[in-house]
Amino acid sequence: MNDKKREPARWIIARELRECTETVMEGEGESQKENFITPLGTRGRRILFCGKITSKTEENEMTKLAVSDSTGAFYVSFFPKDFNQAVKEQIDLVNQDDTVIVMGKTSFYKTDEGRMYVNINPESIRIIDEDSSQYWMSRSAFLLKRRILGIKELKKNPDSTESSLVSLGFTEDEASAMVQSSSLYSSYDIARMEEILMEISASKVSESTSELKDKIFEIIKARNGLGGVTYDEIAREMKIDMQSTQEMDQALTLLLEEGEIFESSRRKYKTV
Amino acid sequence: MESAIKKIEELVKEETNITIKVKILSISQKEANTQKGKSVYHYGLLGDPTGVIPFTAWSMPTTVRDKDVYQISKCYTKKFNEKIRIYFDQGTEFKLLPEELEVKRTYRYYSIRDLNTNDKYVTVEGILSNEKEREYEKEGQKKAIYQYIMRDQTGTIPLSSFGTKLPVGKGVRIEGAKLDLFNGYYRLNTYEKTAIEDVNLKITEDPEYSYIKDVKTPVGGIKVSGFIISLGEKSGLLTRCRECNTKLDDLRCADHPEAGVKYDVFIYFTVDDGTGYMQVNAGFDAISEITGITSEYLSDEKMPPLKKEIRSRIDRGLMHGAISINGNARMTEQGISFKAMKIERLDQKNYRQIVSIQEEEFA
Ligand SMILES: [Zn+2]
């Protein structure tokens, strides 16, 4: 039951949206709508994103939110009307520092210098947990990485078409936006976005390491009285395979450096 | 003395000292207990322009590889389960030929998730379970049909075998199974010409995640992740007739006005995983755990469940985080419709599976 008319919600990171300076008209005749199109091949007028609310302000009746996804901020503004009372209830429930998922329609204004600002008119906003936000970021980065590969392919082979991209495994939807984007942003330097992608995967590692750090600390703390816990015992308790202790080593090093634990004898640890 | 080269299609009865010119299509290795202890043998498929046949090699030079063409002499055939099979032993001779050999129609391999009736005869690999035997009459004779559920890492599909019992609980490779659409679902049928082989498969109970963009096939056991981006307005509490179980719009059933009502829940929503979105339906069993709506709560005589409370539990359980959905896709006139069997919150284990599938794409 795919409702063909539904406007797809694009999963896009804040930094990619900030790179956007172009819009295109999509659709036929009366129902033509202005869509953003980024240099990385995302095109649409509805987006879905997760992040932490860094500010919430109310002016007159207007509520403004800034939501950060660690690569930048999304700007949301909401004006209550009769038809969006459900969104009003949702927005009243969220506050600064909450991690949220937002779906909304985009609107744009361009400055004379060619900058473009994107405002998001929320259709739903709800508090979510950290894991869900991480899932969104990971999937959005994955989709961005796919598109970067596609755009590079277009730059490498100027004869590439939508159908040649589809034959490489891209969806028609992806291919069509990438081809259009590639011609609109012919001089865009894609290396900038590749760096950002690297940063995202690096921060993912550190997030999981810090979680591991907490768990290891708890294990060592629980057995402090017994003269410390051996490396092997920690690995066993954590159910970590002895072939892949890299992340555990990293977490232990951090705990030692931060002075949370010390080595009571060789490869045996106690909390301070 | 070397005998004349036989074609695969000529191999119909048990005979010895055969010479064939064939392409090896697949080779697998297996350990077997013999009277002398453990031994290793090989099996697989080979073919020529007239057909494909399974082989067993009690002995075979280690240089024999699949996709190569050989003239093989001093081999023999045996019949087992009405199927002919070719055997190699220590006396068999292999001569590598530097030529290409066209093999009669090989059937393209598909993951269950990727099956498509544009290709009616296919190769699939999976594990069979849920064996059911049924009898039917053909030309006055009683015949048996065996029905199974086949599962691979991407999904499940019903499979019927006419006349032949198939191995359950271990990996099989089926070449030339016929695919069709029945009652909105895909199913597979095997018949005399279908080649069935044991294969070593590592398939976990838990299916791998599919991207929503790839859910196009009406098969079962599909797992997807995502966020619910809209919940159907009429999702929530509903009433059914106690007698006939019909969903009621009114307070009583037209046919059984005295029977009273019982409560149930039903939801429908759109889920999006970034690659696409789809419509999903789910009933009580699928959402009971994630929403905390229990059957006790629904059937409490003294305190009937409240519509508002149910809606708020659905909102709390489903709308505030990423979810994992296991279910079946069905073909309807409007396209694919997805019925959830189980909805869970996405946990760290799910998340790691998803990340590793994403990473595979760039490996
Ligand atoms: Zn009734």
For chain B, 363 residues long, the average pLDDT of each consecutive 10-residue run is: 84 93 89 70 89 89 92 91 84 94 83 89 94 88 92 96 90 93 94 84 89 95 96 94 89 88 95 96 97 94 91 96 97 91 94 90 81
Provide the pLDDT for residue A162.
86
Q: How far apart are CA B208 and CA B112, in angstroms?
A: 12
Handedness of CA A134, A135, A138, A143 (dihedral sign): negative
Please report where in the chains the tokens 């929320």 appear, as a residue: A122
Question: Rounded to the nearest 5°, which phi and psi values hold at B46?
Answer: -135, 165
Digit-by-digit pLDDT tens for chain A (272 residues) are 344 568 999 999 999 999 999 999 988 888 889 999 999 999 999 999 999 999 999 998 899 999 999 889 999 999 999 889 999 999 999 999 999 999 999 999 888 888 899 999 999 999 999 899 999 999 999 999 999 999 999 998 887 888 888 878 899 999 999 999 999 999 999 998 898 888 887 666 566 677 788 888 888 888 876 678 888 888 888 887 776 677 788 788 778 877 788 888 878 888 87
Predicted local distance difference test score (pLDDT) of residue B282:
98
Q: What confidence score (pLDDT) does residue B321 get?
A: 96
Domain that includes residue A84, residue range: 1-203
The three-state secondary structure class of A163 is helix
Distance set, CA B340 to CA A231, B165, B269, B279 (Å):
44, 31, 11, 10
Quote the minimal CA–CA distance from A264 to chain B in Å. Answer: 32
Question: What is the SS3 string spanning B38-61?
Answer: EEEEEEEEEEECCEEEEEEECCCC
Do B355 and A138 count as a contact with CB atoms less than 8 A apart?
yes
Which pLDDT does position B34 carry in this prediction? 64
d(CA B295, CA A242): 45
Binary contact (B337, A1; C-beta < 8 A):
yes
From A129, A145, A171, residue closest to B321, measured CB to CB: A129
Q: Is A169 left (phi over 0), alpha (psi -120 to 50) or beta?
A: left
Which residue from A2, A9, A143 is facing B336, i.e. has the nearest CB?
Answer: A2
Q: How many CB atoms lie within 10 A of CB A163?
A: 10
How many CB atoms are closer than 10 A to CB B161? 22
CATH class of B212-362: mainly beta
Q: What pLDDT is stored for residue B137 in this prediction? A: 84
On whether both A20 and A38 belong to a single domain, the answer is yes
User: Does A116 lie in the same domain as A164?
Assistant: yes
Same domain, A191 and A216: no
Amino acid B305: pLDDT: 92
Same-domain status, A150 and A262: no
Q: How far is the CA of B236 from the centre of ligand 1 (A)?
A: 21
Q: Are residues A82 and A195 in the same domain?
A: yes
**Pairing between β-strand A73-78 and β-strand A229-230 as defined by DSSP bridges:** unpaired
Query: In this complex, is the C-beta atom of B56 within 8 Å of any C-beta atom belonging to chain A?
Result: no
Q: Please judge whether A135 and B346 are an interchain contact, meaning their C-beta atoms are less than 8 angstroms apart.
A: yes
Q: Do B227 and A8 touch (CB under 8 A)?
A: no
ipTM value greater than 0.90:
no
So what's the pLDDT on residue A140? 97
- Residue A71 and residue A1 in one domain: yes
In this structure, what CATH number is given to the domain that contains residue A166? 2.40.50.140
- Residue B181 pLDDT: 94
Assess if CATH 2.40.50.140 describes domain B112-198: yes
End-to-end CA distance of chain A: 59
**From the CA of B32, how far away is ligand 1's center (Å)?**
60
Same domain, A214 and A199: no
- 8 Å CB contact between A124 and A90: yes
| CATH 2.40.50.140 residue window(s) in chain B | 5-97, 112-198, 212-362
Whether chain A has a CB inside 8 Å of the CB on B332: the answer is: yes
At A72-119, the pLDDT tens digits run 999 999 999 988 999 999 999 999 999 999 999 999 988 888 889 999
> What is the architecture of the domain spanning B5-97?
Beta Barrel (2.40)
Long-range CB contacts (within 8 A, 24+) of B283-291: B285/B341, B285/B342, B286/B327, B286/B340, B286/B341, B286/B342, B286/B343, B287/B314, B287/B317, B287/B318, B287/B340, B287/B343, B289/B344, B290/B317, B290/B318, B290/B323, B290/B343, B290/B344, B290/B345, B291/B265, B291/B316, B291/B317, B291/B318
**For residue B348, what is the nearest residue in chain A, using CA coordinates?**
A131
Tell me the chain B residues in contact with residue A128 when contact means C-beta distances shorter than 8 Å.
320-322
Q: B190: closest CA among B139, B153, B145, B129?
A: B145
H/E element, B357: helix B348-360
- By CA distance, what is B360's nearest residue in A? A142
CA torsion angle for A33, A34, A37, A43 (degrees, to 10)? -20
A95, A225: one domain: no
The rounded Å distance from CA A149 to ligand 1 centre is 59
Same domain, A36 and A159: yes
Question: How many domains does one find in chain A?
Answer: 2
